[in-house]
Amino acid sequence: MFQSAAVDRAAVEALISRARRDVDQGVLPACQLALAHNGDIVVDETFGAPTDGRFVAFSVTKALVGALAWQLIGEGLIGDQTRVADVVPDFAGNGKEAVTVEHLLTHTAGFPRAPMRPEEGADRQARVARMATWRLDWPPGSQTEYHATSAYWALVEVIDQVTGADFRTLFSERIAGPLGLSTLSLGTTSTDGVVPIQAVGDAGDGATLGDHVKETGEQFLLRFNEPAVLAAGVPGAGGVGRAADIALFYQSLLHNKQGLWRDDVLTDATSNVRNTLIDPLFKVAANRTLGLVVAGDDEHSIVRGFGRGNSARAFGAQGVGGQIAWADPATGLSFCYLTNGLDADVVGSFTRSAKIAGLAARCAS
């Protein structure tokens, strides 16, 4: 689907052609992309899967959970400096008393590899018991390293405690529902319509899945084909939806027409870079806000998953396999690209993500 009013037709055709090529050539089993502007979807394409297929959004999910936290901050139920242990006393063990909500959302909490099986995380009692055993690799706030799932399990426990509800239900009621995104959810109890994840490719000389942390490894990620893991709604990786859903979610971050967030909190979350520590994986400043990454003007935006056409103010999040979602205040565009292919060549998947993001960014008319 392509509506040309807000975008450049030639640029859109180049974007669609590039995404289709990976599926036609067998590089990826399927992919889905969507571009939105002024609250409307202007491009919606799926290759290698049914057009209404939903994809596991992996780390793109983190922005969805962050959006719940922003609401609670705006309501005064939590603050960026709220200590997790003050809300979840059992969390405090092994020196974790100082960990705050800001540390969780900026990947500076100090326990990037702390384990949590999805089935454990889905059980509140087991979740808290597991978090009580976690230990710090370094003092909170002193370093940054990608917390693939651990920090967000702690975050949703805080959310569940202060609201007395389940984070998955809260997301549907507080965000997906008001935005009219009925096919976007944190986890799902049905695998119907969810495009199965497949491992593809050869690592070659590049980094492989799992080189960074276990939770980005192929064996773990393929478990998202299992009903119990999908139902868990892993808060750092288990969102399920269409690319169009996520592109429209990012439109709401640009415009907030439904008033879902307090304006100052939303501005902070989408623009205030709190973490400029050097990311050990990418060797550049992390540029993290409370839950998002900002492209930045330091000539390293491509490393952060943005394209050459994005402005320095663009914000978003990457996901494994080359998934990407962003919004750009300079153009009003938002974009999402999802795939069910777990490319063993991590470097290649990041390169593909940057190229596709760049083509999307050039679609502004």
Q: What is the mean pLDDT of residues 128-156?
A: 98
> What sign does the dihedral 350-61-265-136 (CA atoms) show?
negative
C-alpha pair distances (Å), 153 with each of 43, 66, 75 = 33, 12, 21
- C-alpha to C-alpha distance for 3 and 243, rounded to whole angstroms: 16
pLDDT (0 to 100) of residue 6: 76
Superfamily, domain 9-62+182-361: DD-peptidase/beta-lactamase superfamily (3.40.710.10)
If one compares 169 and 2, the residue with the highest pLDDT of the two is 169
Which pLDDT tens digit goes with each residue over 1-21?
Answer: 555 567 999 999 999 999 999
* pLDDT band at 213; cut points 50, 70, 90: very low
C-alpha pair distances (Å), 30 with each of 47, 50, 53, 285 = 5, 9, 10, 32
Which pLDDT tens digit goes with each residue over 114-132?
Answer: 999 999 999 999 999 999 9
> What's the token pair of residue 78?
């939590």
Segments in 88-135 forming alpha helices (H): 101-106, 118-121, 124-133
Helix (H) or strand (E) holding 38: none
- C-alpha to C-alpha distance for 233 and 199, rounded to whole angstroms: 21
Residue 319 has pLDDT above 80, yes or no: yes
Q: In sequence order, what DSSP letters do the residues of 245-313 get, joined into one string?
A: HHHHHHHHHHH-TT--S-HHHHHHHHH---B-SBPTTTSSB--B-SS-EE--SSS-TTTTT--TTS-TT
SS3 156: helix
Q: What is the mean pLDDT of residues 229-248?
A: 97
What single-letter DSSP state applies at residue 197? P
> What's the token pair of residue 342?
């777990």
SS3 201: coil
pLDDT (0 to 100) of residue 215: 57
Which pLDDT tens digit goes with each residue over 277-317?
Answer: 999 989 999 999 999 999 999 999 999 999 989 999 999 99
* pLDDT band at 365; cut points 50, 70, 90: confident
Sorted by where each begins, the domain ranges of the chain are: 9-62+182-361, 70-167
| 69-78 residues labelled b (16+ CB within 10 A) or e (exposed) | bbbbbbeebb
From edge to edge, which strands make up the β-sheet containing 333-339? 40-47, 31-37, 333-339, 323-328, 315-319, 293-294
If one compares 86 and 204, the residue with the highest pLDDT of the two is 86
Helix (H) or strand (E) holding 20: helix 9-24
Which pLDDT tens digit goes with each residue over 30-44?
Answer: 999 999 999 999 999
